[in-house]
């Protein structure tokens, strides 16, 4: 069996490192062909020494120069490239078969889309790219014979709970609805009036998952679940009314599919991203992911509650954007990225994140999203509006 050659976009991140952990367990199956990072030279250097990929990419020239010098000195043959265009070229590289899309935010759009257009096997963690480009991305997958496999634990669980023959026709498969589970994040039971004073450190302390800072804040506001509702819409061809959100604080059931005969199929496991990553890397086979067995006696209880939309206005905003269609999801995503950055920088209060997004959605209006240029233009315009909304709220 020839080894699968993999590009890991965002190799230094939480998903990137979990991916490399699984790859390292199966050197006979997988080869890390290229590793990329934004600015973490030290971390990417260590990963290059360990995995000795053909290529490494840094966003900026100075970081690329530093990485190149360190690798040369260490006798590592990895070739260092620089910039966004290098990411696109690697996504399209003829020797690459699999692309792990694990850059955070809209920055991942172009390389992820390029992988779909090149007909690769695309392992999608970068949900923002799909939220932004929705139809365009799904068309690129269909028209170029790409294989799209969801890494987001909920969508991977839904994928595993759907029939193997599923072709994005829920009705034809007898699906009644999709139930996305959500932990509810760190503030599920905190007094409502304490949320204004939440700090970035509190918001990033997720009860069940260790993740990058942006997605951790998204989990605390539940915008993460909102983005996931939109992601499920595109991945599974599901209208908003067939996607329900269920708060399940233990994060053991990763999501469920209900069928018309009353059957509910769920995927369970310990909350460890190496499970969906290994599933997608080896699909349709199964490989060891290094994840410990699920101890049901230790867990003892699985509980469920509805999502409180007063506490989590971001979830309503995402449903609203999905129902509005057009550019609304792209605007929602851009405003959220700006607001989360401002919150992490101490320029915006936690509960103001939703206010900024709502105001941006109202002001942005609709705009075309039929081409990648139009999407990037919409994204830029929404960010400018969101920035002005953030400024106007500064303490």
Considering only 124-132, 233-241, 315-323, 326-334, which stretch makes contact with ligand NAD by CB under 6 A? 124-132
Query: Using alpha carbons only, how large is the chain's radius of gyration in Å?
Result: 20
Q: How far apart are CA 323 and CA 240, in angstroms?
A: 7
334 binds, among ligand NAD, Mg ion, none (CB under 5 to 8 A by kind): none
* Least Å from the CB of residue 218 to ligand NAD: 7
Long-range CB contact pairs, 213-216, < 8 A, 24+: 213/344, 214/104, 214/105, 214/337, 214/340, 214/341, 214/344, 215/14, 215/104
Per rule CB under 6 A, is residue 40 in the interface with ligand NAD? yes
Which residue in this structure is represented by tokens 């990648």? 372
Residue selected from 31, 63, 128, 152 as contacting Mg ion according to rule CB under 5 A: 152
Per rule CB under 6 A, is residue 385 in the interface with ligand NAD? no
- Which residues, numbered 180-239, are part of the site for ligand NAD (CB under 6 A)? 209, 211-212, 214-215
Where helices occur in the chain by DSSP H, the ranges are 14-25, 41-51, 61-73, 84-92, 109-117, 127-143, 153-161, 200-203, 213-221, 223-236, 274-282, 296-299, 313-324, 328-344, 352-364, 372-392
* Least Å from the CB of residue 54 to ligand NAD: 18
Per rule CB under 6 A, is residue 12 in the interface with ligand NAD? yes
* Least Å from the CB of residue 233 to Mg ion: 15
Q: Which of 344, 348, 365 is nearest to 356 (CA)?
A: 348
63 binds, among Mg ion, ligand NAD, none (CB under 5 to 8 A by kind): none
Considering only 90-98, 145-153, 284-292, 334-342, which stretch makes contact with Mg ion by CB under 5 A? 145-153
Q: Which tokens in the block code for residue 224?
A: 């993460």
Which lies closer to Mg ion via its Cβ, residue 14 or residue 82?
14
Q: Which of 38, 34, 15 is nearest to 152 (CA)?
A: 15
For 59, which DSSP code?
S
Q: How far apart are CA 74 and CA 95, in angstroms?
A: 26
Q: Which tokens in the block code for residue 301?
A: 């209880």
Residue selected from 5, 14, 82, 278 as contacting ligand NAD according to rule CB under 6 A: 14
* Least Å from the CB of residue 213 to ligand NAD: 6
Which lies closer to ligand NAD via its Cβ, residue 40 or residue 202?
40
- The answer to whether 208 and 267 have CB atoms below 8 angstroms apart is no
- CA torsion angle 353 359 360 366 (round to 10): 140
98 binds, among ligand NAD, Mg ion, none (CB under 5 to 8 A by kind): none
104 binds, among Mg ion, ligand NAD, none (CB under 5 to 8 A by kind): ligand NAD
Per rule CB under 6 A, is residue 275 in the interface with ligand NAD? no
Per rule CB under 6 A, is residue 273 in the interface with ligand NAD? yes
DSSP letters, 251-313, are --EEEEEEETTS-EEEEE--S-THHHHHHHHHTTS----SPPPP-HHHH-----B---TTT-H
Q: How far apart are CA 21 and CA 36, in angstroms?
A: 16
Which lies closer to ligand NAD via its Cβ, residue 11 or residue 356?
11
**Number of residue whose CB is nearest ligand NAD:** 13
76 binds, among Mg ion, ligand NAD, none (CB under 5 to 8 A by kind): none
* Least Å from the CB of residue 228 to Mg ion: 6
Task: Give the rounded distance of the alpha carbon of 282 from its chain centre.
Answer: 19
Which lies closer to ligand NAD via its Cβ, residue 37 or residue 178?
37
Which lies closer to Mg ion via its Cβ, residue 154 or residue 337?
154
* Least Å from the CB of residue 21 to ligand NAD: 13
Q: Where do contacts with ligand NAD occur on this chain (CB under 6 A)?
A: 10-16, 37-38, 40, 59, 102-104, 107, 125-128, 152, 209, 211-212, 214-215, 273
Binding site for Mg ion (CB under 5 A): 152-154
């Amino acid at each position: 069996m020839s080894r699968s050659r993999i590009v890991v976009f965002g190799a230094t991140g939480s998903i990137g490192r979990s991916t490399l952990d699984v790859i390292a367990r199966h050197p006979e199956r997988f080869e890390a062909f290229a590793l990329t990072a934004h600015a973490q030279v030290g971390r990417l250097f260590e990963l290059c020494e360990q995995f000795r990929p053909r290529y490494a990419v840094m966003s900026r020239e100075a970081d690329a120069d530093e990485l190149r010098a360190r690798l040369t000195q260490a006798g590592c043959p990895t070739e260092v490239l620089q910039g966004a265009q290098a990411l696109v070229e690697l996504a399209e590289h003829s020797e690459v078969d699999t692309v792990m899309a694990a850059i955070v935010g809209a920055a991942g759009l172009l390389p992820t889309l390029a992988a779909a257009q090149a007909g690769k096997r695309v392992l999608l963690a970068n949900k923002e790219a799909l939220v932004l480009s929705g139809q365009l991305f799904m068309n690129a997958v269909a028209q170029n014979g790409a294989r799209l496999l969801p890494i987001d634990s909920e969508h991977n669980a839904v994928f595993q709970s759907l029939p193997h023959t599923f072709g994005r026709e829920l009705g034809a498969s007898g699906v009644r609805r999709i139930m996305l589970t959500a932990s509810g994040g760190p503030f599920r039971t905190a007094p409502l009036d304490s949320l204004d004073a939440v700090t970035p450190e509190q918001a990033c302390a997720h009860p069940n998952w260790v993740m990058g800072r942006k997605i951790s804040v998204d989990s605390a506001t539940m915008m993460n679940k909102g983005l996931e509702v939109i992601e499920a819409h595109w991945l599974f061809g599901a209208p908003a009314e067939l996607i329900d959100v269920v708060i399940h604080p233990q994060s053991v059931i990763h999501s469920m599919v209900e069928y018309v005969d009353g059957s509910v199929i769920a995927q369970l496991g310990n909350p460890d991203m190496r499970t969906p990553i290994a599933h997608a890397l080896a699909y349709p086979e199964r490989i060891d992911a290094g994840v410990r067995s699920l101890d049901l006696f230790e867990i003892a209880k699985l509980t469920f509650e509805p999502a409180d939309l007063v506490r989590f206005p971001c979830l309503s905003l995402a449903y609203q954007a999905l129902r509005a269609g057009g550019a609304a999801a792209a605007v929602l995503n851009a405003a959220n990225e700006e607001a989360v950055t401002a919150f992490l920088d101490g320029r915006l209060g936690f509960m103001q994140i939703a206010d900024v997004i709502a105001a941006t959605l109202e002001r942005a209006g609709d705009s075309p999203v039929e081409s990648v240029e139009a999407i990037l233009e919409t994204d830029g315009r929404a960010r400018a509006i969101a920035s002005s909304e953030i400024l106007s709220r500064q303490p």
